[in-house]
Amino acid sequence: MTPSTRGRVGGRAVTSAAAFAAALALAGAPLLAPAAAADPIGQPAPTAPDVAQRMRLEVDTMAPRVVTAAATQVNITGKVTNTGDRRIDDIEVQLQRGEKLASERELRDSTNAATDSAKSPFVEVSSALEPGESAPVTLSVPLRGGKESLGIDEPGVYPVLVNINGRPEFGGRARLAAVSVPLPVLSLPNGPAAPPPQTARGVSIVWPLLDTKPRRVPTTDGRTLLTDDELADSLTVGGRLYGLVNTVRTLGQDSQLLTSLCFAVDPDLLDTVRAMGDGYEVRTSSGKIVQGKGAEVAKDWLTRVRDLTKGRCVISVPYADADLAALSRAGAVGLTAQSLTGSSIVSNALGVQPAKQIFWPAGGAFDQRTLLDVAQTGPATVLVNPGALPNSQGTAPFQVTGMQAANPVRMLPYDSLIADALAGPPRTATTGQSDAPRHVSGSVQDGLAALIFRTVFDDRPTASPVVITPPRRWTASAAELTAFLDTTQDLVSGGLAAPQSLLDQASSTGTTGVPSYTVTDTTAEIPTSVTTDVGAMNVMTRDLLASMAIDNTNKVDPHTLLAPIENGLLRAVSTAWRGDTAGAQGAVGEVRGQLDNLRGQVSVIDPGRPLALASGDSPILVTVQNHLPVSIVVRINLHATPGLRLAPYMDVSIPPGHSAKPPITAEVIRSGRFTVDASLSTPGGTPLGSPARLEVNSTSYGIITVAVTGVAGVILVLLVARRIFRRVRAARAGRTEQTP
């Protein structure tokens, strides 16, 4: 970081305007423009309802982001655009300030705070703008002194409003766009400074390295196939994941702040990036398979992460950031346990052992069943929303009481004020071109204001640690990430905050009851329509595994063969799909297709001609082919038309790449042509291949037929003998009557 990119906080460095030069588009009434939705400074503020969607305000820079004694004025630059359907005249801009925010509640509601305590004079932006036209916005307002200043006389956090007024054609003058920005003030020129705390509050930061969604297709042929190549863009210079890594690297290895960072990494992401480095393929939107472009950037990014995390705190989220609460609710305990084994992937990829049993649940809480599941593998520490903790006593972290868990469970509350500021509230709005709702991320400026309020102006006991958890899939730009880290570093350097490792907070000193888990939490989970399918396919996968075995010829392990399927199931329940059921169902479809393909490699071969039975008890030879690289035990199920009696089923083990013709006991009751429906399954009942209909011809008589024929012959002989006997007797009687 060069000197030109930093100012001073009470004689110490803070980030200045040069660090925030990225364009941060902000809407007035409607919301943010799509290009800037991921990186706003401040939040949209209310405007007159009858003039909504008339204008859009884009704020390019605001300096300073944190006011110190070195600053004399606030400088705003940006652009305003007429997004309506009529001309707007007399467009002006003004900066307004409200009273100092005195509580957490006021800070949370700062967007709606009154800002009429001080107002700068209106400055002309443009005399008129036709629909679609834009004009630059430049505004400089003194911090204190005189009626034209913001009149700030003491340190604190203040709500500031950038207000655009204008007069639409056929309408009256009104506010057409506004942006609310919390402005932290640590010291003032020729004025007071915030007193340093007696004991600096400890600060720990979770730094997330997670992809925005799972992308790997669960192939069973050894290929690395991705659903798109956007991950390569994210890993390269200017990309999101690149920025998350490179911003921390610019701090330098001697930075005090590094001791407070704990990197939350996804084993699936590391596994995918490592596989990309060896070459991979991408499936385009048209279904065509092409070579991926990011092999080299993947190698470079993984090397950077490996160097960055060496000797640092690392926690592993579940594989693919699987939704553990949804899995527990679905009863998929096996998948839950499997998702927690990803720490070995992290260790192999980064050469660092992740911290054991630290969980960061999406949504900020686990239900009791999930807590019991995760406690099965060892003592667990859960980063939790403090609002979910009932009856907390003592100092965090808190050990949970009133729950019969296999191992102790601890709750470490994160700072929900900072977390909510960084994430921002979900908002629904229109852009003027589309009525589709959009979810807008929060503001780093809001997060900075919340952090400074908590560490400098909050009156809570200083023993309470500040655990910062940004959005899991943080989309802030590199400039905003730099602003956040530099300001936090300056708080540490100035003695206003103390870096504290997350691992140092793992021992419990307080107690709490079982955390609450609300209907809202349940609703946010991956829906049961997805977890039900995942659970059923997991049962099928486990059954297949039980029926397979390693063959001495090729040594392929069935676990290796089925691992892509199991990993695909975890990707289908990733928390990335929360709120995106269609995306989750698409991931389920990918796994189902691969599983069906795997099961289809064991099949009944239709001979293409009728099978002939030489005798009434000749066996039927059914050919079963195994194209899998492992041995498998197959159950042959046969159902015939009346006249042919078959054995109920037969289990047979078939080596990889071989076929078998096990003799099926058959008994012919009558001669003729029969149909036999043949199907395959594992002994556990998982269907294999497709059913086949076979034809069987028999010209022989069955045992019953022969017996019946024999009995009929005997009866016939007896009847003939009786008839002959009667005739002979009648003849003798006649001769006797004729004798004199």
Give me the CATH number covering residue 206. 3.20.110.20
Rounded Cα distance between 721 and 137, Å, is 126
Q: Is residue 611 part of a domain?
A: yes
Pick from 49, 361, 32: which is nearest to 206 by CA?
Answer: 361
Q: Is residue 214 part of a domain?
A: yes
- Residue that is last in its domain, among 152, 185, 218: 185
For 614-635, the pLDDT digits (tens) are 555 667 778 899 999 999 999 9
Q: At what angle do helices 558-572 and 581-599 cross, to 10 degrees?
A: 160
Q: Which residues pair with 13 in a beta bridge?
A: 8
179 and 217 fall within a common domain: no
Q: What are phi and psi for residue 92, nearest 5 degrees?
A: -135, 160
620 and 497 fall within a common domain: no
pLDDT > 70 in the chain, percent? 83
Q: Pull the structure tokens for residue 443.
A: 């503001």
450 and 375 fall within a common domain: yes
Rounded Cα distance between 450 and 454, Å, is 6
User: Helix (H, G, I), strand (E, B), or coil: what is residue 24?
Assistant: strand
The confidence score (pLDDT) of residue 433 equals 31
Q: Is residue 722 part of a domain?
A: no
Rounded Cα distance between 430 and 428, Å, is 7
The confidence score (pLDDT) of residue 13 equals 34
Of the two residues 733 and 260, the one the predictor is more confident about is 260
Q: Which residues pair with 468 in a beta bridge?
A: 205
Task: Count Cβ atoms below 10 Å from residue 17 Cβ, excluding itself.
Answer: 17
Rounded Cα distance between 285 and 282, Å, is 10
Q: Is residue 532 part of a domain?
A: no
Helix runs in 64-122, H state only: 104-108
In sequence order, which residues have a C-beta less than 8 Å from that of residue 103 and are 6 or more positions away? none
The confidence score (pLDDT) of residue 607 equals 75
334 and 471 fall within a common domain: yes
352 and 425 fall within a common domain: yes
Residue range 29-44: mean pLDDT, rounded = 44
Question: Is residue 434 over pLDDT 60?
Answer: no
For 591-614, the pLDDT digits (tens) are 999 999 999 999 998 776 676 665
Furthest CA-CA distance within the chain: 171
Say which residue the tokens 């925005």 belong to. Answer: 212
Question: Is residue 24 over pLDDT 50?
Answer: no
For residue 194, give the amino acid letter: A
pLDDT grade for 488, boundaries at 50, 70 and 90: very high
> Number of folded domains in the chain?
3
Strand 398-400, strand 510-512: pairing: parallel
The confidence score (pLDDT) of residue 507 equals 67
Rounded Cα distance between 232 and 269, Å, is 12
Question: Is residue 53 over pLDDT 90?
Answer: no
The answer to whether the beta carbons of residues 505 and 313 sit under 8 Å apart is no
Q: Is residue 193 part of a domain?
A: no
Rounded Cα distance between 413 and 401, Å, is 16
For 167-212, the pLDDT digits (tens) are 999 888 999 998 889 999 999 988 899 988 888 999 999 999 999 9
The answer to whether the beta carbons of residues 225 and 567 sit under 8 Å apart is no
Q: What are the CA-CA distances from residue 656 to residues 36, 632, 660 (Å)?
A: 55, 8, 11
CATH of the domain at 621: 2.60.40.10
Kindly state the helix (H) or strand (E) to which residue 232 belongs, with its residue range: helix 230-235
Residue range 345-351: mean pLDDT, rounded = 96
401 and 457 fall within a common domain: yes
DSSP per residue, 345-412: HHHHHHSSPPBTTEE--GGG---HHHHHHHGGGS-EEEEE-GGG--S-BSSSSEEE-S---SS-EEEE
Q: Is 222 exposed, middle or buried (0-12, 13-18, 19+ CB in 10 A)?
A: exposed
- DSSP state at residue 453: I
345 and 292 fall within a common domain: yes
Q: Is residue 737 part of a domain?
A: no
Residue range 480-509: mean pLDDT, rounded = 88
- Residue that is last in its domain, among 134, 155, 185: 185
Question: Is residue 520 over pLDDT 90?
Answer: yes
For residue 307, give the amino acid letter: D
Q: Which of 460-464, 479-483, 621-625, 688-692 has the lowest mean pLDDT?
A: 460-464
21 and 126 fall within a common domain: yes
Say which residue the tokens 């041995």 belong to. Answer: 631
Q: Is residue 82 part of a domain?
A: yes
The answer to whether the beta carbons of residues 264 and 496 sit under 8 Å apart is no
Of the two residues 723 and 660, the one the predictor is more confident about is 660
206 and 318 fall within a common domain: yes
In sequence order, which residues have a C-beta less than 8 Å from that of residue 379 and are 6 or more positions away? 357, 407, 408, 409, 410
Domain limits for position 94: 3-185
Q: Pull the structure tokens for residue 5.
A: 């990119």
230 and 172 fall within a common domain: no
- Residue that is last in its domain, among 124, 151, 185: 185
Pick from 292, 156, 150, 165: which is nearest to 216 by CA?
Answer: 292
619 and 682 fall within a common domain: yes
Q: Is residue 290 part of a domain?
A: yes
Say which residue the tokens 């194209």 belong to. Answer: 627
Task: Count Cβ atoms below 10 Å from residue 47 Cβ, excluding itself.
Answer: 23
294 and 168 fall within a common domain: no
Residue range 480-507: mean pLDDT, rounded = 89
